[in-house]
Amino acid sequence: MKNKPLYFDYASTTKIRQEVYEAMLPYLQEEFGNPSSLYTIGIRNKKIINQCRKTIASLINAESHEIYFCSGGSEANNWAIKGVAFAHPDKREIITTKIEHPSVLNSCRFLEKLGYIVTYLDVDAEGFVNLQELEDKITDNTCLVSIMTANNEIGTIQDIQAIGEICARKGVHFHTDAIQAISHLPIDVKQLKIDLLSFSAHKFYGPKGIGCLYISKNTKIENLIHGGNQEREKRAGTENVAYIVGMAKAIELSYREMYSDNVRERDLSQLLYHRLKDAIPDMRLNGPEIGNRRLPGNLNISFKHVDGSQLCFELNEEGICVSTGSACHSDRIEPSHVLQAIKVPDDYIKGTIRITIGKDTTEEEIDKLTEAIIKRVKK
C-alpha cells in the first residue's frame, strides 16, 4: 500500500469531512426525488433545500431568499460580474484588481470585448488595494466593484468593510469573491455592505461542484443560465440536493470550529516559516506578514535562483503536495499574475511555491516538509 501523501494544498481543494459525507448519503440514494415534483419525496427535498438556505443565510447575516445555489465559485463569480453588467446597460464601467482569481479577470475581459470599460487597480507590495485610488476611480458610469476578500495565492485579506462603505457611499454595487475567506473569516454581509458574495463548498471540506452566490434583495441582476424556474427563476437546472446538503453541513461545521482552526493553522505556519528562514536565508515571504491581515495557514514563499516548478516536482516524488507559483500555459510557464502584480524580484519569482495548511495538518508533517524543502533547495 502506498504511503498517504503529505498534503499542503488546502487552498486548492479539501477532502469531504466524514460528517458531511454522512449528511449527503441519503440524498444520493433513497431521497432522490426532484425538488420541483409535487409528490412526497420531491417535496421533502424542496424542504431540505430551504432549510440549507436558511442555515447558510444565518451564518452570513443574510435573508434566506438572498441565497442562490450554483455549480461553484467560478460560476458564482461569472454570474455576479456579467449578471450585474447585463442588468445595467446604461452603466458600462467595472472596477476590479490585478490580483483577482481568473474567473473574475476573465469575466471582465469578456465584458471588455462587448465594449465595457474595466479598471484593474494596482496593489502594493503586500497585495493591498489603495482605498483612495478605488474611491477616485468610481464614476457615475460604474456599475460594479469586484474585489476579493482574501487572495488565494498570497493570503492578503483586504479591508472589505472600508471597500463596502466606499461603494455604498458612491451608490455602486459591491461584489466580493470570498471563496478562500469564507471558512476563515466571520462575514456579515449587512455590516460589510456587500451586495454580492461568492463561495464554493470544496474549499471548506464540502463537495466539489456546488457553490453559492449571495445576492442582496436590492441588487438587480440578469440570469446566466436560462431554463426552468429553479432558484426563484434566477438559475435554471434541477437542484443538486445532496451537494447542497453537504455544503450547508460543511459551512456550519467550519463556522463552529473557525477560531480554533485559525489559531492552530497560524501557529503551524509560523513554525514552518521560521524553520525554513533560519535554514535558507535567501527566502522571502510574499504577501503580508503572518498575522491578522493574512489568511491562516497560507505561506507563499520564494527561494532565490531556484526553479519552483522543479521543486514542486521533486517534492511530489517524495509524496509531498504543494502548489507552484507559476501559471502553466500550453507552450510556456510564467510567474503568476499575482506575483507579478506585487513585483516579486526577478531572481526570486520563479522560485515560488505556495504551502497551505488545513485541518488535518500535524506538526510531524511540518517537520517532514521542512526537512524535504531544505534538502532540495540546498542541493
Q: What are the start-end ranges of the E strands in 131-195?
A: 142-146, 173-177
SS3 assignment, position 207: coil
Number of residues that make up the chain: 379
Supply 286's cell numbers: 510574499
SS3 assignment, position 235: coil
68, 231 Cβ separation under 8 angstroms: yes
CA 86/CA 83 separation, integer angstroms: 5
DSSP 65: G
| Catalytic machinery residues | 328
Q: Find the helix packing angle between 40-60 and 241-256, rounded to 10°.
A: 30
CA 9/CA 315 separation, integer angstroms: 13
CA 326/CA 307 separation, integer angstroms: 10
Nearest Cα neighbor of 359 from 1, 2, 16 is 16
Question: How many beta carbons lie within 10 A of that of residue 130, not counting itself?
Answer: 13
Nearest Cα neighbor of 75 from 83, 67, 63 is 83
